[in-house]
Structure 1
Amino acid sequence: MDRHDLRETAALALSLLDLTNLRADCSEDDVIELCARAQTGYGNAAAICILPRYVSLARSILGPSHGVKIATVVNFPDGESTRLAVAEETRAVLDAGADEVDLVIPYRALMAGDEQAVTAMVAAVRAICGGDAVLKTILETGILSDPHLIHRAAELTIDSGTDFIKTSTGRAGVHATQEAVDIILQAIRDSGRKVGIKPSGGMRSVENSGLYLGLAQTVMGEDWVMPSTFRFGATILLDDILSVLSGRRFEDLSMQANH
């Protein structure tokens, strides 16, 4: 990838980035820093993705109509809360000011053969989100692992009204993989519906993000990738994006070549 292509990929990846901190030890100061980092001199990230307890804080910082969306998680991280509890959690985060809800599906129930647990959970949260809040469903593909099960999970969430499919929580040993993303993209394409994808975790470089963008364009078409259809769930990726956009990456390479 030459410098021009690298810069173009970096700029696009920034516009698609859900800058994320879902660590159990995340503090208010961490969220304040995340809100600041999401607003760069080269444009804004698409969203920040934070724990539910910090949604109101982020809303107070970003304001009512800021360019950076606020995403949060429900049924996180194990996907094993009751439908009633998840419904209450969803209402609470929306009341606190969340724009987007990332729902962990009951993937272990699905692994045990209970498809209805998935469809009922997604449909319930979809109804609460209505047409205003974006719903992303997290499949936890690293644990589902079987390609047929990943494809079926994608089909179920698409049929139940999700807006996006997200690969992973970031808490499992395996995060996003190109294989899982390819499977999900094929399910989206075959459905004929406007559903986006969010590879999450494990992306550290602009070049790596470019592989996922290229895969999406191959399966879905050249003009398909945009913030309403594609997101990256990654935090460390921002460092490399800014290194490329600022030119620091090229300066470092030049210094290495001269030595």
Structure 2
Amino acid sequence: MPTRTPLAEVATSDAALRRFLHGLPGVDAVGLEARAAGLGTRSIKTTAKAFAIDLAISMIDLTTLEGADTPGKVRSLCAKALRPDPSDPTTPHTAAVCVYPDMVAVAKDTLGPASGIAVASVATAFPSGRAGLPVKLADTAEAVAAGADEVDMVIDRGAFLSGRYLEVFETITSVKEACARPDGTAAHLKVIFETGELQTYDNIRRASWLAMLAGADFIKTSTGKVAVNATPANTLLLMEAVRDFRAATGTQVGVKPAGGIRTTKDAMKYLVMVNETLGDDWLTPEWFRFGASSLLNDLLMQRQKLSTGRYSGPDYVTVD
């Protein structure tokens, strides 16, 4: 990490922020991809695999973000989050459900106050991020007022790629303030980069530091709405950023890969990466999440395979 500018002074001007972000070490793309690929070859077997499957289930933000979402669909999603496998009560519940702001109240009512499952809501003109600040803040305020425990905001990639870093920084800080509740608590803020549109690994590293400096509680790869979403390499880069940020500031920030993670094998690769790069401190639902929907079904079928010795039929899990 560059030390020319104290962190407290990084965002005092656009020039200082640009100087800091462009002073971050460049990313060795070949080395990053080779390390991510190498970690993906690790094998997890028997009892360790059973533990990892349950851990992965407990880290899922079970998501529905479609224009055709209905209250009935959201209630069904919440029921699945609570009891992913109704035939096996030992199956852990998911970490959260993630919905649009207008569905937050439905999710909160369905889950109840004691479920242990957070309700997350996308906001700030998801998935494009192309709206004025008043619209973004109103979007956030609607979700928080409805009871959202977490807000997943998306940055304006056009502003970021144009070098308007302070604008992006101030938007994040404003949304962070809008996450506050009258009782003094606040919804956790996840900041989505849409890494598939940031063009370079250097930009992903810069976006990570920018978001963390602005107060992000989590940094998240993607919306799941573009061609390139979470990959092992771009997620590893986020992990390295949160590790280095904690070393520099003492503040821990979570990581959430989202989009394209569909199989148990995929999930295991990411858990190995967390363990090897960040360690036990991040190996909990509090600090690591999967943004996914179809992943849960594969985890459930693999879980049953471990317990019974045979694969389930196609009707074992619900179709989301």
TM-score by length of 1: 0.93
- 1:148 corresponds in structure 2 to 202
- Distance in 1, matches of 2:136 and 2:298, equals 35
Counterparts of residues 49-88 of structure 1 (less than 5 Å): 49-75=98-124, 76-88=126-138
State which of 237, 240, 248 in structure 1 corresponds to 2:295. 237
Structure 1 position 246, deviation (Å): 2.4
- 1:217 corresponds in structure 2 to 275
Instruction: Tell me which amino acid in the other structure corresponds to 1:157.
Output: A
Q: Does 1:27 align with 2:74?
A: no
Q: Does 1:136 align with 2:190?
A: yes
- Distance in 2, matches of 1:150 and 1:160, equals 15
Q: Which region of structure 1 is more displaced relative to structure 2, 56-65 or 152-161?
A: 56-65
Counterparts of residues 77-226 of structure 1 (less than 5 Å): 77-130=127-180, 131-192=185-246, 193-226=251-284
- Distance in 1, matches of 2:300 and 2:150, equals 25
Instruction: Tell me which amino acid in the other structure corresponds to 2:67.
Output: A
Structure 1 position 4, deviation (Å): 2.2
Matched position secondary structure for 1:43: coil
- 2:7 corresponds in structure 1 to none
- Distance in 2, matches of 1:44 and 1:252, equals 21
- Distance in 1, matches of 2:225 and 2:67, equals 10
Structure 1 segments (4+ residues) deviating >6 Å:
none
Query: What does the per-residue CA deviation read over 1:193-228, in whole Å, with 9 as the maximum and x for residues that have no partner?
Result: 210000001111112111111112211124421111
State which of 273, 296, 311 in structure 2 corresponds to 1:252. 311
Percent identity of the aligned residues? 36
Matched position secondary structure for 2:67: coil
Contact in 1 for aligned 2:196/2:227 (Cα 8 Å): yes
Structure 1 position 9, deviation (Å): 1.2
Unaligned runs of 5+ in 2: 1-43, 84-88, 313-320
Matched position secondary structure for 1:59: helix
Instruction: Tell me which amino acid in the other structure corresponds to 1:28.
Output: P
Structure 1 position 252, deviation (Å): 2.7
Query: What does the per-residue CA deviation read over 1:45-84, in whole Å, with 9 as the maximum and x for residues that have no partner?
Result: 0000011111111111112342111001012010111111
- 1:256 corresponds in structure 2 to none
Matched position secondary structure for 1:71: strand
- 2:41 corresponds in structure 1 to none
Matched position secondary structure for 2:310: helix
After superposition, the CA RMSD in angstroms is 1.5
Contact in 2 for aligned 1:244/1:250 (Cα 8 Å): no
Aligned length: 253
Structure 1 position 189, deviation (Å): 1.1
TM-score by length of 2: 0.76
